[in-house]
Structure 1
Amino acid sequence: MHVAEAISPVQQQSPFPSLPQGMERDGFVALIDAVAPRLGVRSAALATFRTMIAATRPSAFKSGYEEPCCYLQQSEIAKRRQVSSSRIRADEAQLVAAGLIEKRTMGNGARSGFVGCGVYFSVAIKRCQEFFTLREENEEKRRQHAKLRGLRSIHKKHLKSCLAELIAMHGAAGEVQAVAEAFESWPSADKLHRMPLANLRAHVVEADALCTAALDLLHAMSETGDGPHENERPYIQDTTQDFNKVPCNAGVQQPNAGKQASLNTDDGALGHASSCKEKKDWERGATHKSKILTNIPIQTFIPLASEEMRFYLNARRQGRGGWSSLSLHDFTVAAQSRVPELGISQSVWDDAVRKMGVEDATWSMFILDAKACDPDTPILSPGGYLRVMTRRHEEGTLNIVGGLIGLSVRRNGQ
Structure 2
Amino acid sequence: MERDGFVALVDTIAPLLGVGNAALSTFRVMIAMTKPRAFKDGSQEPCCYASQCEIAHKRMVNPSRIRAHERELEAAGLIERRTMANGARSGFAGCGVYFTRAIARVHDFLAMRDQLEVDRRTHTTLRGLRSVHKRHIKAALSDLIDALGVTAEVQAIIEAYQGWPDADALHRLSLADLEAHVEEADKLCTSAYDLLSNVLESSGGPVENERSYIQDTSQDPNPVTCNAHAIMRSAGKPAHSDSVDAPPTGGASCNEKEDRRGATERNTEYLAKLTPQQLYRLCSEEMQLYIDGRVGAGYPFDLRAFEIAAEMRVPELGISPSAWAKARDELQGGAATLAVLIIDAKTSGPRPQIKSPGGYLRGMIAKHREGSLNLVGGLIGLSTRCHANPGTYP
Report the TM-score when normalising by structure 1. 0.78
Q: Distance in 1 between matches of 2:183 and 2:269?
A: 27
Do residues 257 (structure 1) and 236 (structure 2) align? no
1:11-410 equivalence runs, <5 A: 23-225=1-203, 227-229=205-207, 231-232=209-210, 247-249=219-221, 253-257=223-227, 294-318=272-296, 325-357=300-332, 359-410=334-385
Q: Distance in 2 between matches of 1:231 and 1:405?
A: 22
Check whether the contact 1:230–1:293 (CA below 8 A) recurs between aligned residues: no
Q: Distance in 1 between matches of 2:374 and 2:148?
A: 36
Going from structure 1 to structure 2, the CA distance change for 1:181 and 1:291 (only over 3 Å counts) comes to: farther
3-state SS in 2 of match to 1:338: helix
- 1:254 to partner: Cα distance: 2.5
3-state SS in 1 of match to 2:224: strand
3-state SS in 2 of match to 1:397: coil
Q: Distance in 2 between matches of 1:313 and 1:51?
A: 52
AA partner of residue 408 (structure 1): S
Check whether the contact 1:231–1:296 (CA below 8 A) recurs between aligned residues: no
AA partner of residue 224 (structure 2): Q
CA distances 1:313-342 after superposition (whole Å, capped 9, x unpaired): 233334769xxx532222101111222332
Going from structure 1 to structure 2, the CA distance change for 1:409 and 1:226 (only over 3 Å counts) comes to: same
CA distances 1:144-163 after superposition (whole Å, capped 9, x unpaired): 11111111111111211221
- 1:106 to partner: Cα distance: 1.5
Going from structure 1 to structure 2, the CA distance change for 1:259 and 1:337 (only over 3 Å counts) comes to: closer
- 1:226 to partner: Cα distance: 6.5
Question: Whose radius of gyration is greater, 1 or 2?
Answer: 1
Check whether the contact 2:216–2:272 (CA below 8 A) recurs between aligned residues: no
- 1:125 to partner: Cα distance: 1.1
- 1:79 to partner: Cα distance: 0.9
3-state SS in 1 of match to 2:225: strand
Going from structure 1 to structure 2, the CA distance change for 1:258 and 1:301 (only over 3 Å counts) comes to: closer
Check whether the contact 1:356–1:394 (CA below 8 A) recurs between aligned residues: no
Going from structure 1 to structure 2, the CA distance change for 1:194 and 1:291 (only over 3 Å counts) comes to: farther
Unaligned stretches of 5+ residues in structure 1: 1-22, 236-241, 261-289
AA partner of residue 384 (structure 2): V
Going from structure 1 to structure 2, the CA distance change for 1:399 and 1:336 (only over 3 Å counts) comes to: same
Q: Distance in 1 between matches of 2:270 and 2:32?
A: 60
AA partner of residue 80 (structure 1): K
Check whether the contact 2:215–2:333 (CA below 8 A) recurs between aligned residues: no
CA distances 1:371-413 after superposition (whole Å, capped 9, x unpaired): 2223234322222222222232223222111111111122223
Identity within the alignment, %: 52
Does 1 or 2 have the higher relative contact order (CA < 8 Å, sep 6+)? 2
3-state SS in 2 of match to 1:103: strand
Check whether the contact 2:310–2:340 (CA below 8 A) recurs between aligned residues: yes
RMSD of aligned residue pairs (Cα, Å): 2.6
Going from structure 1 to structure 2, the CA distance change for 1:196 and 1:373 (only over 3 Å counts) comes to: same
Going from structure 1 to structure 2, the CA distance change for 1:293 and 1:327 (only over 3 Å counts) comes to: farther
Q: Distance in 1 between matches of 2:219 and 2:226?
A: 13
- 1:181 to partner: Cα distance: 1.5
- 1:124 to partner: Cα distance: 1.0
Q: Distance in 2 between matches of 1:93 and 1:41?
A: 11
Going from structure 1 to structure 2, the CA distance change for 1:316 and 1:229 (only over 3 Å counts) comes to: same
Going from structure 1 to structure 2, the CA distance change for 1:155 and 1:258 (only over 3 Å counts) comes to: closer
Check whether the contact 2:282–2:345 (CA below 8 A) recurs between aligned residues: yes
CA distances 1:338-386 after superposition (whole Å, capped 9, x unpaired): 2233233333322321232361110001111122223234322222222
Check whether the contact 1:332–1:358 (CA below 8 A) recurs between aligned residues: no
Q: Distance in 1 between matches of 2:223 and 2:123?
A: 47
> More deviation in 55-64 or 311-320?
311-320
3-state SS in 2 of match to 1:256: coil
Tell me the residue number matched to 2:264.
Answer: none
Unaligned stretches of 5+ residues in structure 2: 231-267, 390-394
> More deviation in 226-235 or 216-225?
226-235
CA distances 1:9-62 after superposition (whole Å, capped 9, x unpaired): xxxxxxxxxxxxxx3211111111111111111111111101111111212211
- 1:70 to partner: Cα distance: 1.0
AA partner of residue 50 (structure 2): L
Going from structure 1 to structure 2, the CA distance change for 1:370 and 1:163 (only over 3 Å counts) comes to: same
Q: Size of the alignment, in residue pairs?
A: 352
CA distances 1:223-269 after superposition (whole Å, capped 9, x unpaired): 2236424653599xxxxxx99796544xx553213879xxxxxxxxx
